[in-house]
Amino acid sequence: MLKRYFQIDVRLILAIMILVELAYNLILNRFVLTDQFFYDSFIHELTIEQIQEATNMARSFSWTVFLWTPVNILLQIVFIAICINVGALLLRYNISFKAIFGVVAKSFIVFVISKVIMIAVFIIRGLQSVEDLNYMPRLSLYDVVNSSALPEWAIYPLQIINLVVLAFILLTAFGLNQIDKRGIQRWIPFVLGTYGTGLAIWAIFVVFFVFL
């Protein structure tokens, strides 16, 4: 089944992912991030007039999210493909960037599927404030540590180490092995080392510019 999946045209996979991501953003804005959500989030920090003004401004620019969606997906895939391609070049693996891009794009669907599951959890469980959104369980390392003892800057790095990322690594390794039969046991540490390094750099970037 997975072998057949990796034989599908990458353009079709990209189109499906973009459509699902657009639907995710539409549902998130219409049914989760409501006016009441913003009131509950900032009622102790801002006046009602300020909250209303901020909400109206956010609504007026909400359409830009839909324009950014395909760009965001492509940028993430390209960034990951570059990390893996650098590793392939250093190790002199005979695999093209186009092939790596195709595998990464098809593996990226696990992140899109996780968004579908997450939006269902948001709707069923309900969100009361931004705090609920930030600390929603994501099957990550953050969920198994003593979160009360963590500094705020450590939350994001621990959240990105999760089962979805693990599934992406395994799926990418499987896809690369369909192109270059080195054995999935060799591709897993390769993907972990290349994509993992890129993910670590991104986490450091976010922590440095957002929390420090």
pLDDT higher than 70, residue 201: yes
Q: Of 81, 138, 131, which is closest to residue 114 (Cα–Cα)?
A: 138
- Give the DSSP letter of residue 62: T
Give the mean model confidence (pLDDT) for residues 52-72: 80
Q: How many residues belong to the chain?
A: 212
Q: Where are the domains of the chain?
A: 2-211
Number of Cβ atoms within 10 Å of the Cβ of 147: 12
Q: Which tops the pLDDT comparison, 149 or 104?
A: 104
pLDDT tens by residue, 120-158: 877 776 666 666 665 555 678 777 776 667 787 887 888
Number of Cβ atoms within 10 Å of the Cβ of 126: 10
Cα–chain center distance at 16: 16
Residue 140 β-bridge partners = 162
pLDDT higher than 60, residue 41: yes
Give the mean model confidence (pLDDT) for residues 11-34: 86
Q: Of 75, 72, 74, 79, which is closest to residue 198 (Cα–Cα)?
A: 79
